[in-house]
Structures are given as C-alpha cells and as structure tokens.
Amino acid sequence: MIQALMKQQPVSVPAEPLLQVRDLSLLYGPEKGCQGVSFDLYPGEVLGIVGESGSGKSTLLSLLSGRLPPQAGNIGYRGKDGEWLDLYSASEAERRTLLRTEWGFVEQNPRDGLRMGVSAGANIGERLMAQGVRNYEQLRGAGIDWLGQVEIDPQRIDDLPRTFSGGMQQRLQIARNLVSSPRLVFMDEPTGGLDVSVQARLLDLLRGLVRELDLAVVIVTHDLAVARLLADRLMVMRRSRVVETGLTDQILDDPQHPYSQLLVSSVLQP
Ligand SMILES: Nc1ncnc2c1ncn2[C@@H]1O[C@H](COP(=O)(O)OP(=O)(O)OP(=O)(O)O)[C@@H](O)[C@H]1O
Ligand SMILES: [Mg+2]
C-alpha cells in the first residue's frame, strides 16, 4: 500500500515528445486567457497546470486539446504512426477523430462528459464503436471489464448514469475515455465537484490507471494536493502567463517565483 503510494519514476526518458507546444496564445482581453505558452510533453508524463481562478488554465487546456483555435502559436502531436501532426493545420474532422481515439478528455462535471440518456455500458462502448467495433459480445465485455476497473459493480451496466452518485459518474467518465486506449488524456479539475473522501478514492484510482496504462496526462487543478499526487511536472499560471515550470516536488518544496511561493504557502489555499 505504501509502495503503491510512492511515485514511480519513469525508467527511461523517451527521446521524442508526444506533444510540442510553441508560443500558444488566446486572449479574451489583457491578461485574460493564455499567452506565450511553450512546452514539450513526453509519453507517459503527467503535467499539472496550477494557478489561481481566472489565470487561464482552462483556456490553455481547450487550446491543447483542439477544442479552441489559438490566435498564435502551434501544437505538434506525434501520432501512433510516428508522424507529426500540426493540430491547427489539420482538419476539424481529423481533430475530432483524435479526440475520440488517441486522446481523451475528462470534464470536471461528469454530466458534460457522459451521455446521460444511455446506459453505462453504452457510454463505455461508444468510443470502441467509433473505432469500428460492432461485435455485441465484445462491446459488452469491454463494458463489464471497464466498470470493474473503475470499481463500479458490473451489474449496473444497463443502468443510466443519472442513477449513479457523483463519484461513480466521474469514474464512468474515466472508463468511457480510457476504453479506447488513448495515449494522451486531458483533465480539467476531475475531482473538483466531489466530497473529500470520494476525491481521495478517485485520485488513487486515477493514479493507478495512469501508471498502469502509461498515459500522458495534462491535468488542470487548483488543488496542490492533487498536483502533488498525480503530476510529474507542474506549470504555474498567473494572469495568462506561465510563471514557473519544473518538477512537481521542486516547485512545491522550493518554489522560485514569488507567485508560486504565495500559491504554495497557505495564503491561497482554501
Ligand atoms: N469565452 C470567453 N469569453 C470571454 N472571456 C473568457 C472566456 N473564457 C474565459 N474567459 C476569461 O479568461 C480568463 C481565464 O479564464 P479560464 O477559464 O481559462 O481560467 P481558469 O484558470 O480556468 O479559472 P478557474 O480556476 O476559475 O476555472 C478569465 O478572466 C475568464 O473570465
Ligand atoms: Mg478553469
């Protein structure tokens, strides 16, 4: 149990990044949005984006995940085939396909990420169907398997998500995203709306899955405990800019930028 709680370091550093972000900007007004953001994300790496409310975290995540076009800058993604794709030169259809296959997006509010009118099993099967799986037994099998992986009783496979608790809905949303074996998952405050005890359990589950599946993750959170538990590296945002970036432990234990120091000290903690 204690070992499971210890962060595992990647054994080797992969030579090529998965995502290359250069000078990305989208501003709604002065210092509203994000500007000049650059970084590389490597396979299996978890990047946390932290910062106060309104600092531009969600805006950045929307740009990274291809949901909003930037005003400037670009994003390169190295696909499963090893080819680089310039995200915003690609067609809308290509971006949508990525989001349904090699990428995932976990919304803060599970109601935004689930189809509430169809069963839990159908929610899980959807991405597989989008990839061409038509076999009923196979879809059902994946549904049962993934419900188990996210600790939901597989007997609930035919139930509607609205009959689930908030924590279960969030776990179902995670299953729905992970079933297609994505390589990169975006998450915006995935534990935001949940009770503290439910949060802790979800975090544990997420952490296990991320390591087990060697997922690259970009996770937005204003909760530094979440960042500490999940992220290898952090980017600290303030007023649309990244003010500091580095290894999670370094930033949380020895922040360099005055704003990071303020953020890490109890001052801004709820
Ligand atoms: N569609 C929009 N139109 C105009 N302004 C926007 C829009 N989306 C975001 N903003 C503004 O841009 C700034 C950054 O917003 P964003 O949602 O990215 O912040 P955030 O860091 O995610 O905050 P929170 O922690 O509260 O979720 C805020 O001032 C917000 O009001
Ligand atoms: Mg936000």
Ligand 2 centroid, distance to 82 Cα (angstroms)? 32
Ligand 2 centroid, distance to 5 Cα (angstroms)? 27
Q: Can you point out the beta strands (E) in the chain? A: 19-29, 32-41, 46-51, 72-78, 84-86, 103-106, 184-188, 216-220, 233-238, 241-247
Give yes or no for residue 59 CB within 6 A of ligand 1: yes
Q: Which ligand is nearest to the CA of 63?
A: 1
Q: Which ligand is nearest to the CA of 34?
A: 1
Give yes or no for residue 22 CB within 6 A of ligand 1: no
Q: Say if residue 6's pLDDT is above 70.
A: no
Could you tell me how many residues make up the chain?
Answer: 270
CA angle 81, 26, 267 (to 5 degrees): 105
The pTM of the full predicted model, rounded to 2 decimals, is: 0.92
Quick: pLDDT tens for 19-78: 999 999 999 999 999 999 999 999 999 999 999 999 999 999 999 999 999 999 999 999
Task: Give strand pairing partners of 238.
Answer: 241
Quick: pLDDT tens for 167-217: 999 999 999 999 999 999 999 999 988 888 889 889 999 999 999 999 999
Give yes or no for residue 104 CB within 6 A of ligand 1: no
Q: How far apart are CA 19 and CA 98, in angstroms?
A: 13
Ligand 1 centroid, distance to 163 Cα (angstroms)? 32
Q: Give me the mean pLDDT over the 103-115 stretch.
A: 95
Nearest CA to ligand 1 atom 5: 28
Q: Say if residue 130's pLDDT is above 50.
A: yes
Largest Cα separation within the chain, whole Å, is 56
Strand order in the sheet with 84-86: 32-41, 19-29, 72-78, 84-86
Ligand 2 centroid, distance to 102 Cα (angstroms)? 23
Contacts of 45 (CB under 8 A, 6+ apart): 10, 18, 216, 217, 232, 233
% of the chain with per-residue pLDDT over 70: 93
Q: Which of 59, 42, 52 is nearest to 217 (CA)?
A: 42
Give yes or no for residue 17 CB within 6 A of ligand 1: no
Ligand 1 centroid, distance to 153 Cα (angstroms)? 37
Q: Give me the mean pLDDT over the 213-230 stretch.
A: 93
pLDDT of residue 27: 98
Q: Say if residue 3's pLDDT is above 60.
A: no
Residue labelled with tokens 């990305």: 24
CB 94 within 8 A of CB 85: yes
Give yes or no for residue 28 CB within 6 A of ligand 1: yes
Q: How far apart are CA 63 and CA 24, in angstroms?
A: 8
Give yes or no for residue 66 CB within 6 A of ligand 1: no
- In whole angstroms, what separates CA 37 from the centre of its chain? 18
Nearest ligand 1 atom to the CA of 189 is 27
Q: What is the mean pLDDT of the chain?
A: 92
